[in-house]
Amino acid sequence: MIGKLNHVAIAVPDLGAAAAQYRDTLGAHVNPPQDEPDHGVTVVFIDLPNTKIELLHPLGDDSPIAGFLAKNPSGGIHHICYEVDDIMAARDRLTAAGARVLGDGTPKIGAHGKPVLFLHPKDFTGTLVELEQV
């Protein structure tokens, strides 16, 4: 069911500084910021040869990233994203196995324009997991 690692998401307190660090210090290809109002974040994707890094910054007062940064002021890894072929089949298989899907279980459209779901971190060794249909 689980496919390749799509990205590792890192919440950052200063999006410009974090993007500059990846671009200038590590020499990575850094894409322009994109606002994702449905998710309450501004994202910057960094392309790597085998996956992507997604820098997350709060967008709006209700951003879930604001709460994460309040607890982790320096930022940190927020979630990992795996690809799946069929997000509804993956959701059904996971919930049948006892995993909890965050929200109402209906996929939202993510930053790549594809359906995504998030799985409760307590069900995955303390790690927030995102599934993205490819």
Q: Give me the DSSP letters along 32-69.
A: PPEEETTTTEEEEEEE-SS-EEEEEEE-STT-HHHHHH
**Letter for the amino acid at 25?**
T
d(CA 104, CA 47): 31
Q: What is the mean pLDDT of residues 74-84?
A: 98
Percent of the chain with pLDDT over 70: 100
Instruction: Cite the active site residues.
Output: 130
Range of the domain at 65: 5-133
Q: What is the mean pLDDT of residues 78-93?
A: 98
Residue 63 pLDDT greater than 90, yes or no: yes
pTM of the model: 0.94
The answer to whether the beta carbons of residues 60 and 37 sit under 8 Å apart is yes
The pLDDT, as a whole number, for residue 50 is 95
**Radius of gyration in angstroms for the set of CA atoms belonging to the chain, rounded to a whole number:** 15
pLDDT level of residue 65 (50, 70, 90 thresholds) = very high
The pLDDT, as a whole number, for residue 8 is 98
Q: pLDDT tens, 24-43? A: 999 999 999 999 998 999 99
Number of structural domains found in the chain: 1
Residue 102 pLDDT greater than 90, yes or no: yes
Which residues, in sequence order, are CB contacts of 16 under 8 Å at separation 6+? none
For the domain that residue 37 is a member of, what is the CATH number? 3.10.180.10
* Neighbouring-strand partners of residue 47: 29, 52
Residue 62 pLDDT greater than 90, yes or no: no
